[in-house]
């Protein structure tokens, strides 16, 4: 699973629900953009709608950063459709602002290393750059959701690195000082620490 970071994302073509329509989406369609692939266990569950809605509610932030989000679960597109038509007050994700891929055969979850032997896929989050390279991944067990603000911070950090070539220290946020990845040049950064 960790072998994915720094290498090409597994290619995929999958049936999807997008804006209420059943369609087919592929990784190739997202070349030239940053992409978050958001694996979640199941539709109509508990933590899952909180995560999907958190990402959906921030979709304009992702858009402004030239990034797309795709949700993935082992549910069918028809289950996705029913869930997207269920009001939030009833545990639904009505108004979701990004597509949901169907991984009924578990091919995507296996390719990305998040397939669980005892049930649905783990909560995997993969950041794929415009060239199709996996830059970051996190995998959570089923009971704990991810943080959309941290996903945005990570995206901005990798975009900064791609544009400027320097590196981002721990807890970096846009506008803060970065460092040069060089033993001598990095001392400029370290000299500012107290």
Summarize the confidence of residues 179-184 as an average pLDDT: 90
Distance of alpha carbon 15 from alpha carbon 26, whole angstroms: 9
Q: Model confidence over 2-21: pLDDT tens digits?
A: 589 999 999 999 999 999 99
Residue 143 CB partners (closer than 8 Å, separation 6+): 47
Domains within the chain, CATH numbers bracketed = 2-146 (3.40.30.10), 147-194 (no CATH)
Q: What does pTM read for this prediction?
A: 0.95
48 included as an active-site residue: yes
Active-site residue, selected from the candidate residues 9, 16, 37, 48: 48
Q: Judge whether residue 172 has pLDDT over 90.
A: yes
Helix or strand run (H / E) with residue 15 = strand 13-18
- Work out the number of other CB atoms within 10 angstroms of the CB of residue 15: 16
Q: What percent of the chain has pLDDT over 90?
A: 90
- Taking residues 170-193, report their average pLDDT: 90
| Mean pLDDT on 54-74 | 98
The whole-number average pLDDT for the span 146-166 is 96
């Amino acid at each position: 699973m960790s072998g994915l970071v720094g290498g090409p994302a597994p290619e995929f073509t999958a049936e999807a629900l997008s804006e209420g329509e059943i369609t087919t989406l592929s990784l190739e369609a997202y070349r030239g953009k940053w992409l978050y692939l958001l694996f979640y266990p199941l539709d109509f569950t508990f933590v899952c709608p909180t995560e999907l809605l958190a990402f959906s509610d921030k979709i304009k932030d992702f858009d402004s950063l030239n990034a797309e989000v795709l949700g993935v679960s082992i549910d069918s597109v028809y289950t996705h459709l029913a869930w997207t038509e269920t009001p939030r007050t009833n545990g639904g994700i009505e108004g979701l602002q990004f597509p949901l891929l169907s991984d009924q055969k578990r091919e995507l979850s296996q390719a990305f290393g998040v397939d669980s032997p005892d049930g649905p896929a783990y909560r995997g989050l993969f950041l794929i750059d415009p060239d199709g390279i996996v830059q970051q991944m996190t995998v959570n067990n089923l009971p704990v959701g991810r943080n959309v603000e941290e996903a945005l911070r990570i995206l901005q950090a990798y975009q900064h690195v791609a544009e400027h070539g320097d590196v981002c220290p721990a807890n970096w946020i846009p506008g803060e000082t970065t460092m040069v990845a060089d033993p001598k040049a990095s001392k400029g950064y370290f000299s500012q620490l107290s």
